[in-house]
Structure formats: structure tokens, C-alpha cells
Amino acid sequence: MQTPVIAPSILAADFGNLEREVKMINDSQADWIHVDIMDGVFVPNFSMGLPVVEAVKRHAKKPLDVHLMIVNPDHYLAAFCKAGAHSISVHVEACPHLHSTIQQIKALGCKAGVAINPHTPVVQLENIIADIDLVCVMSVNPGFGGQKFIEHTYRKVEKLKKMILDANASALIEIDGGVNQQNAKPLLDAGADVLVAGNFVFSAANPIDVIARLKATH
């Protein structure tokens, strides 16, 4: 098993001390910074917009992994790329022309990801899996942090890993929601590559140590 990619979710950070929080991630063993964008339409909550992404990018030494939980993401791809995104994930449920959206992301020079909600079967990715760099598997219902991990995620990851291998594809599997030290190893055993962690990291007394322990999971 390879060492997991760890992506702390800035949504759970202290926005009053954003520079400090980003520098903490810089100093940690984290690999990416996960950035959740919510529009209050696709999901029942608002988060941050382009100015915050730009602010994070100014201080970040790790790649920004931008997750667009929004309707009509095509309208904003160029703006988020310009703001500093390294990878952009869009929701299959929000993209009626997903292949076109993926091609747009790649044309901008970003890695292309597709996110799927807990109720969405992985078979919906069958015809796109070879074209994408990342699958973001939502292991909670999107919109709010701090939710309980959905147990059927393990089986979903196993199915997705088989699909990727059968297609001789190279997409990474990212888990977003409720990740902690208890479920990290079972998720990696099921086939996950990237662990997004929000409250588990930022509510800890020593976030750098929590990130190090997640990174050491195998």
C-alpha cells in the first residue's frame, strides 16, 4: 500500500486566522489543501468564494485541491484556475455534459476530478473514468462539516477501485467527509488514495501531529 495523500480541508479552519492555519498546513506532512466551494443551491450551505481561494493561495506551499459543490460549475472553472487551483473537482450530479466539463478543466491546465454524492452509484463514472485524475467520494452528505461517516463508503470504494483497474485508468480515489484515525486504514485497504480531513485536524490540540498520524497510516 502506498503512503496516503493527506488533504486538510480549510473549510474547518479558523477563518479569523487563515494565514496561520495555511502556514500550519505548510509546516505539516500534508500533501494538498482541500478547498470546499458551496453555493447554497447545489448544497444547503455557503462557504468561501474566489477572494478566499486567492488568499489561501498567497500563503500556500501545497497544491490547492478545489471541490466545487455548485450548480453550473462550467461558468467558474477559469476563475478558480486563475485563483490558484491545482485540481478542480465537479459533481457528476451538477454536470449534464460532464465530458465537456472535464475537457475544459484540463484545457485550463488543472487536474480534473469528479465528485459523487453518497447516493450516487459509481457506475455513473464508467464512461469517464479513464479521462479523469481524481474521484472525490463523498462519505457524508455535502454541505456541512462535522458529519458522521457513512459506512457503505467502504464498499463503494472497492467497486470504484475495481472499475479503475479494469479500465487501466490512473484516477486517484479521494475520501471527503468524516475521515478520522479509526476509518483511515479501512478506507486505504478498500482502495482509497487521498484522505480529506477537516474537523478531525483543525479541532485537534496538535493538528500537525494528527496530520502526521494520518500520513503514517498503512
Known binding-site residues for substrate equal: 9, 67, 143-146, 176-178
Q: Which residues of 91-128 are buried (b: 16+ CB within 10 A; e: fewer)?
A: bbbbbeebeebbebbeeeebbbbbbbbeebebeebeeb
Q: What is the DSSP letter of 9?
A: B
Are 32 and 57 spatial neighbours (Cβ–Cβ below 8 Å)?
Answer: no
Active site residue 166: no
Active site residue 36: yes
* Options 31, 36, 133, 193, the catalytic residue: 36
Q: Which residues of 25-60 are buried (b: 16+ CB within 10 A; e: fewer)?
A: beebebbbbbbbbbbeebbeeebbeeebbebbbeeb
Strand ranges of the sheet holding 172-176, from the earlier edge strand across to the other edge: 5-8, 194-197, 172-176, 134-138, 111-116, 85-91, 64-69, 33-38
What count of other Cβ atoms lies within 10 Å of the Cβ of residue 182?
Answer: 10
Annotated binding site for a divalent metal cation: 34, 36, 67, 176
* Options 31, 39, 176, 193, the catalytic residue: 176
Positions annotated as catalytic residues are 36, 176
